[in-house]
């Protein structure tokens, strides 16, 4: 919540796992943006992710129904809840989830959470879902898995890339897309919010070019990363209890695949107009350079 410091807002703190705290948080609200979720590729106890992302969503929306007067809910879903097309074929909001064999706990929890969120339309709560792709930009305090990747390129600590590619967008555009969804989105629908479809190699080269560091040199095969991930995860689960460098299913979800999307629906219905990806990367580079990336490099 550090990014909310200094903003002219009234803060009412709640806990998605404490249902009694949710009703006061939504009382008197006409619009709700539900962004709270756990976005991690590994946790010591993954059941916490399911409780927060799925049961927490259910509890919050139930509280909104009980409070009454809510005219619109914007639920932050994920690209993870959208299916992946064959080869480099673009996925859309109509692409059915098909990642049962490759999904890690985060991907599965977000897919199930989106189903839970949209089901509340049948109960009378007007819910619109937005599906951000890989968010790039400043103020990634945690950092998220996406931000951690950028941070390592900025610090000159990652000489590799995976085969495949994904859609990456400015976190500023994605945030603005949430507001557009509140104003123009249709309840029961979902809207993909992103930026450019880019190969992981091109993304890595851009990050390093903008950061002014040496470009990565090697493509590392997905199978090798998954093998290392199995070993790293076992060590993390049983010895270190810290996030591993490599993760099996996370690598399998992104590696060797093209998570490319068609954003026509958001552009036409919401007026979504994403900026060039290089601007988002520059935002991230500047921010990490000023803080976390420098600490990482040391």
Tokens 């810290």 locate to 242
What's residue 294's pLDDT?
43
Cβ distance 194 to 79 under 8 Å? yes
What's residue 293's pLDDT?
44
Joined together, the tokens standing for residue 248 give 């099996």
What's residue 295's pLDDT?
47
Question: Which among 32, 33, 21 is positioned nearest to 174, based on CA atoms?
Answer: 33
256 φ/ψ sector (left φ>0, alpha ψ -120 to 50, else beta):
left
What's residue 281's pLDDT?
97
Domain 2-297 of CATH type 1.10.10.60: no
The structural domains of the chain, with segments of one domain joined by +, span 2-297
Cβ distance 193 to 131 under 8 Å? yes
Rg (CA), the chain: 19
Q: Quick count: other Cβ atoms within 10 Å of Cβ 46?
A: 16
Torsion sign over Cα 3, 6, 10, 11: positive
CA distance 98 to 104: 13
What's residue 275's pLDDT?
98
What's residue 1's pLDDT?
72
239 secondary structure, DSSP code: I
Cβ distance 191 to 177 under 8 Å? yes
In sequence order, the 6+-apart residues with CB closer than 8 A to the CB of 184 are 269, 270, 271
pLDDT digits (tens, 9 = 90+) for 182-210: 999 999 999 999 999 999 999 999 999 99
Joined together, the tokens standing for residue 106 give 């985060």
What's residue 298's pLDDT?
40
Determine if the pTM surpasses 0.95: no
What's residue 271's pLDDT?
99
| Cα 238–chain centre separation | 27
Phi and psi angles of residue 84, each rounded to the nearest 5 degrees, phi first: -110, 130
Q: Chunk the chain into consecutive blocks of 10 residues (it has 298) and report each block's average pLDDT, rounded to whole numbers.
A: 84 92 94 95 94 98 96 98 94 96 94 98 98 96 89 90 97 98 98 98 97 94 94 94 91 93 99 98 93 49
């Amino acid at each position: 919540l550090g990014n909310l410091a200094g903003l002219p807002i009234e803060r009412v703190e709640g806990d998605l796992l404490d249902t009694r705290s949710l009703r006061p948080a939504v009382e008197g609200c006409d619009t709700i943006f539900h962004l709270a979720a756990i976005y991690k590729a590994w946790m010591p106890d993954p059941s916490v992710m399911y409780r927060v992302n799925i049961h927490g969503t259910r509890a919050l929306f139930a509280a909104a129904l009980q409070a009454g007067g809510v005219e619109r809910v914007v639920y932050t879903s994920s690209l993870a809840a959208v299916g992946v097309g064959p080869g480099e074929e673009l996925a859309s909001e109509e692409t059915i989830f098909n990642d049962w064999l490759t999904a890690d706990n985060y991907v599965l929890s977000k897919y199930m959470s989106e189903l839970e969120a949209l089901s509340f339309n049948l109960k009378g709560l007007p819910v619109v879902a937005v599906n951000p792709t890989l968010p790039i930009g400043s103020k990634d305090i945690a950092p998220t898995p996406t931000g951690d990747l950028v941070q390592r390129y900025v610090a000159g600590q990652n000489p590799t890339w995976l085969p495949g590619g994904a859609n990456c967008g400015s976190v500023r555009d994605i945030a603005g897309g949430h507001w557009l969804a509140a104003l123009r989105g249709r309840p029961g629908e979902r809207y993909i919010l992103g930026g450019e479809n880019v190969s992981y190699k091109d993304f890595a080269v851009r990050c390093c070019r903008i950061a002014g560091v040496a470009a990565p040199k090697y493509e590392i095969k997905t199978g090798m990363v998954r093998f290392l991930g199995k070993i790293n995860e076992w060590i993390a689960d049983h010895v270190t209890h810290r996030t591993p460098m490599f993760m099996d299913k996370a690598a399998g979800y992104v590696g060797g695949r093209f998570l490319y999307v068609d954003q026509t629906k958001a552009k036409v219905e919401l007026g979504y107009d994403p900026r060039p990806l290089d601007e988002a990367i520059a935002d991230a580079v500047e921010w990490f350079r000023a803080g976390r990336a420098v600490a990482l490099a040391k």
